Structure 1
Amino acid sequence: MKQYAAPDILLESGTNEMEILEFYLEGQSYGINVQKLREIMCFDPAMLTPMPESLPSVLGVYMVRGTSLPLVDLTSHLRRRPAVAPGSESRAIVLVCQFNRKVTGFLVDGVNQIHRINWQHVEPMAPLIEKFKPRFTGTIHVEDREVLIVDLEHIVAEVDPEMNMTFEHESDKCSGSEGLQVREDVGLMLAEDSVIIRLGIQKVMNSAGYGRLKTFPDGEECYRELKRIKEQVNTEAEFLSHVRLLITDIEMPRMDGLTLCRRIREELGLKDLKVILFSSLITDQMAHKCKSVGADTWISKPQISELVELVDTYCLPAGADGQK
Structure 2
Amino acid sequence: MSGILDTVNLRTQMVGQNRLELLLFGLETEQIYGINVFKVREVLQCPALTEVPRLTTAIKGMAHIRGETIPVLDLSEAIGRPSVPKEELQRCFLIVAEYNKRTLAFLVRKVDRILNTHWDQIMAPPAEIGVENYLTAVFEHDGKLIEILDVEQILADLYPMRTNVSEEIATKEVKTKASEYHILCVDDSSVARNQMQRSLEDLGIKVTTCNNGRAAWNMLNDLTEKGVDVTQHFLMMISDIEMPEMDGYTLAAMIREDTRMDKMHIVLHSSLSGGFNVSMVKKVGADGFLAKFNPDDLAGVVVDRIRKIESRR
* 1:226 alignment partner in structure 2: 220
Q: State yes or no: 1:43 paired with 2:46.
A: yes
Q: Deviations over 1:114-144 (max 9, x none)?
A: 1111101111124464632x32211011112
Equivalent residues in 2 for 1:161-180, closer than 5 Å: 164-167=160-163, 169-170=164-165, 177-180=172-175
* 2:199 alignment partner in structure 1: 204
Q: 1:306 to 1:130 in 2, by over 3 A?
A: farther
Structure 2 runs not aligned, ≥5 long: none
Give the alignment partner of residue 272 of structure 2, picking from 269, 276, 281. Answer: 281
How big is the shift at 1:86?
A: 2.5
Is the CA contact (8 Å cut-off) linking 1:54 and 1:60 kept in structure 2? no
Structure 1 runs not aligned, ≥5 long: none
Question: What residue identity is the alignment partner of 1:87?
Answer: E
How big is the shift at 1:103?
A: 1.1
* 1:21 alignment partner in structure 2: 23
How big is the shift at 1:7?
A: 3.7
Question: Percent identity between the aligned chains?
Answer: 26
Equivalent residues in 2 for 1:4-153, closer than 5 Å: 4-5=5-6, 6-9=8-11, 10-13=13-16, 15-25=17-27, 26-44=29-47, 47-81=48-82, 83-88=83-88, 91-127=91-127, 129=129, 131-132=131-132, 134-153=133-152
| Further displaced range: 151-160 or 241-250 | 151-160
Q: State yes or no: 1:267 paired with 2:274.
A: no
* 1:246 alignment partner in structure 2: 237
Question: What residue identity is the alignment partner of 2:26?
Answer: Y
Q: With structure 2 as the length reference, what TM-score do the two structures score? A: 0.89
CA distance in 1, matches of 2:166, 2:150: 23
Q: Deviations over 1:259-291 (max 9, x none)?
A: 000000113552321000010114323210111
Q: 1:54 to 1:89 in 2, by over 3 A?
A: closer
SS of 2:263's equivalent in the other structure is coil
Number of equivalent positions: 306
Question: What residue identity is the alignment partner of 2:87?
Answer: G
Q: With structure 1 as the length reference, what TM-score do the two structures score? A: 0.86
CA distance in 2, matches of 1:52, 1:239: 51
| Further displaced range: 123-132 or 182-191 | 123-132
SS of 2:50's equivalent in the other structure is strand
* 1:303 alignment partner in structure 2: 294
Question: What residue identity is the alignment partner of 1:20?
Answer: L
Is the CA contact (8 Å cut-off) linking 2:169 and 2:300 kept in structure 1? no
Q: 1:229 to 1:316 in 2, by over 3 A?
A: farther
